[in-house]
A and B are shown apart, each in its own frame.
Chain A
Amino acid sequence: MTTLIGEAVQVRQLEKSFGEWPVLWDLDLSVPWGQTLVLFGANGAGKTTLLRILATHVRPDHGSVAVAGHNLRARPDAVRRRIGVVGHRSLLYDDLTCQENLVYYSRLFGLKDHKPRVDEVLEKVKLGDRAGHLVRTLSNGMQKRAAIARAILHQPDVLLMDEPETGLDRESVAILDELLAEWTASGRSVVMTTHDLDLGLSWGHRAGVLRGGKVHFPGTDSHGGKDENGDGAIRQAVTAALEAGR
């Protein structure tokens, strides 16, 4: 792990619109090292857009964003080196095996002596026995696990996960559970979105609701932790957000 500077994620006055359609505006957010932030919100609330901005894939219209201590505009390459992304798509090639895909990504990330690392991450997501299988022959859940292996391959400091539990069976959720605990215990951070309230609340050190272009932290005390009624307040806020739409 590299030296951890400042906060894992720091967002100030972020704004993003698609055409005339504002998605995020005046959004402030910070994620300390060693924590998992879980974001809830209705469809179209901007959860994926926020993650794609943090992943340097979408350019913000306004505001400052720093990930792992690096400004997104000034040093996007440094940010990319220190993030791992699990999105809706696996970002793996169907006609390559799991191992070939991971070797490809480890070469892109410039990993030296990548073979043991590839084997290690495949074992971690319980795909060691499928290493030589083409990705197209894997089930959706296995492809998701392979995508998680891809995301953690270069040992990023910040994991960005967009609904990582989608398509995962109970065993795979347990693997993810273990991985997230290990990740934050080592001082690294995770930002994730989910629609599963129970899983999200069990995984997150903090939980926020994205609504009206901003992140709200209901049930949070003055230090940013969960207060006595934290989970209940989050549940209420998520329900209200879902009923209200964006």
Chain B
Amino acid sequence: MNGLLRPVLVIVWKDLLLELRSKDLVVSVLVFGLLVVLVFNFALNNAPGRSEELAPGILWAAFAFAAVMAMNRAFVRDQEQGGLEGLLISPVSRDAIFLGKALTSLVFMLLVEAALLPVYAVMLNFSALSFNLVLTIFLGTLGFAVVGTLFSAMAVQTRSRELMLPVLFFPVVLPVIIASVEASTRAVGGETFIGLGRWLPLIGVFDAVFLVICPWIFAFVVEE
């Protein structure tokens, strides 16, 4: 386990250091996320009493688009500067490379979501102080990160990566989006953990299945 964990953490450390220095990913995704919720807020009739109905949908639409934006950049720097090749000729397993990149994406997205959630709560008039909501966001984002990392590795090798990633990504993560919206609606409505029903386990199963499948496929994706 230590043999897998160490390189994963090294990759995360490197990506966080690069992001701290450039700040281009977090800032652009953050601004994008704010713009999305701002547009939705004015475009939809968010009258009192309707927020519980609308807020989760808007929340996850913003998170999903922000995830695509973040994922589009996940491998770009590595591809452009040869870092991916450097990783591939190092004695680090492909699983560790995948998990390192996925963990980095998860951390970036959770940071952005943590910053956006209070703003969304104020603008869309719902309470963000809900353990069930936070758990749903964490599990949904994990699904985005795992699937998005795989498709980002595929898309970065194509010329039209900005188009390719959402085309591949959205059909696969659709169950996560549906389940996350359903679970969030119940969480915002004040339901207990049991009250979230089958939606949270569904996201958990999705995450677990793709955490096994994606690293395996990734090894073939990066092979020349």
A interface residue numbers (CB < 8 A to B): 52, 55-59, 77-78, 80-81, 83, 85, 87, 89-96, 100, 104-105, 107-110, 150
Q: Are B77 and A57 in contact (CB under 8 A)?
A: no
Number of A-B contacts (CB under 8 A): 69
**Which residues of chain B are near A107, meaning CB under 8 Å?**
6-7, 10, 13
Given A89-B85, A107-B10: A95 and B18 interface contact (C-beta under 8 Å):
yes
The answer to whether the Cβ of B159 comes within 8 Å of any Cβ in the partner chain is no
Q: Give me the interface of B with A, judged by CB distance under 8 Å.
A: 6-7, 10, 13-14, 17-18, 21-22, 77, 81-83, 85-93, 223-224
A93 adjacent to B85 (CB under 8 Å) = no
Determine if B22 and A108 form an interchain contact, defined as CB atoms under 8 angstroms apart. Answer: no
A105 near B90 with CB under 8 A, answer: yes
User: Is A91 touching B224 in the complex (CB atoms < 8 A)?
Assistant: no
**Complex Cα distance A85/B91, Å?**
13
Instruction: Describe B's contact surface by its main secondary structure.
Output: helix
With contacts A59-B223, A91-B86 taken as known, whether A77 is within 8 angstroms of B91 at the C-beta atoms is yes
Do residues B83 and A93 form an inter-chain contact, with CB atoms below 8 A?
A: yes
Chain B nearest CB, measured from A110 CB (Å) = 7
Q: Is the CB of A57 within 8 A of B224?
A: yes
B97 to chain A, nearest CB (A): 10
Smallest CB separation, A60 vs chain B (Å): 11
Among B7, B82, B86, B223, the one with the most A-chain Cβ atoms within 10 Å of its Cβ is B86
* B10–A52 touching, CB < 8 Å: no
**A104-B10, A110-B6 given as contacts; is B18 within 8 A of A96 (CB)?**
yes
Across the interface, B89 reaches (CB within 8 A) one of A85, A100, A104, namely A85
Closest A residue, CB atoms, query B7: A108
**CA A150 – CA B14 in complex, angstroms?**
16
Contact partner of B90 (CB less than 8 A), chosen from A52, A58, A80, A95, is: A80
Query: What distance in Å separates the Cβ of B156 from its nearest Cβ neighbour in chain A?
Result: 15
What chain A residues lie within 8 Å of B6 (beta carbons)? 107, 110
Residues of A within 8 A of B21 (CB): 95-96
Contact between B91 and A81, CB atoms less than 8 A apart: yes
Q: Write the nearest CB–CB distance from A230 to chain B, whole angstroms.
A: 32
A147 vs chain B, min Cβ distance (A): 9
Question: Shortest Cβ distance from A192 into chain B, in angstroms?
Answer: 16
Question: Which residues of B lie under 8 Å from residue A55 when comparing CB positions?
Answer: 89
A83 contacts B18, C-beta separation under 8 Å? no
Cα A94 to Cα B17 with chains together (Å): 12
